[in-house]
């Protein structure tokens, strides 16, 4: 199984955080369904071109959050998520996306009024 995770090695954001936040979003958004078996630590490390040390950290963090579980000898699975749970994690994922938006805004010297206008337009177009 190949996970749709993209790494930006030049960004300066630690690798484990990049992989962790994208994998969390994939699971919480339902792109990866509960019960799915994730790649082994070694396999994912090879896909992401990182060391197993990084992936071990990602899996153990997500396991601590109650999103995935590793069963000895069988592999790592996505857990069943209750409706309305993980509000905090979902907010966290959104906040990360907003941070990225703000970084670009800062680089382009965009003013607050423009940002607000663009943001509201984007939200209105949601439905």
Partner 1 sequence: MDNAIELKDVTIERGLFKMGPINLNIPKGYITAIVGPNGSGKTSIFRSILKQTNITSGEINVLNERIDDAENKEISQRIGYLMENQSFFDDGLVAHEKADFHRRWYNNWNEHIYKNCLHKFGISDNIRFKNMSKGMRRKYDFTVALSHEPELLILDEPSSGLDPIAWRSMIEVLNAYMDQGERTILMATHIIDEVKRLADFIVFMVDGKLLGMYEKDELLQNWATYYVEVNPHTQAVIATLPGLLSQKNIGSDRIEFTTSEAVNADALLKDSNITILNRQVLELDEILLYHMNKTTNKIFG
Polymer length in residues for the chain: 127
Residue 71 lies near partner 1 (rule: CB under 8 A): no
Residue 40 lies near partner 1 (rule: CB under 8 A): yes
Residue 11 lies near partner 1 (rule: CB under 8 A): yes
The residue (of 54 and 89) whose beta carbon lies closer to partner 1 is 54
The residue (of 28 and 52) whose beta carbon lies closer to partner 1 is 52
For 70, half-sphere exposure in the C-beta direction (CA atoms, 13 angstrom radius) is 16
Q: How far apart are CA 120 and CA 89, in angstroms?
A: 23
Return the residue of 22, 25, 54, 89 that touches partner 1, per CB under 8 A: 54
Joined tokens for residue 46:
């090879």
Strand (E) or helix (H) holding 76? strand 75-78
Closest CA to 62 of 40, 43, 85, 78: 78
Return the residue of 1, 9, 69, 94 that touches partner 1, per CB under 8 A: 9
Cβ at position 13, least distance to partner 1 in Å: 10
């Amino acid at each position: 199984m190949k996970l749709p995770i993209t790494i930006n090695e030049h960004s300066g954001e630690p690798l484990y955080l990049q992989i962790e936040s994208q994998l969390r979003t994939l699971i919480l958004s339902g792109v990866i369904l509960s019960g799915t078996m994730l790649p082994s630590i070694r396999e994912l490390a090879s896909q992401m071109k990182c060391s197993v040390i990084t992936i071990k950290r990602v899996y153990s963090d997500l396991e601590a959050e109650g999103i995935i579980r590793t069963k000895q000898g069988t592999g790592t699975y996505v857990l069943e998520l209750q409706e309305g749970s993980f509000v905090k994690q979902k907010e966290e994922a959104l906040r990360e996306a907003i941070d990225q938006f703000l970084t670009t805004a800062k680089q382009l010297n965009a003013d607050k009024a423009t940002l607000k206008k663009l943001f509201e337009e984007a939200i209105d177009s949601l439905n």
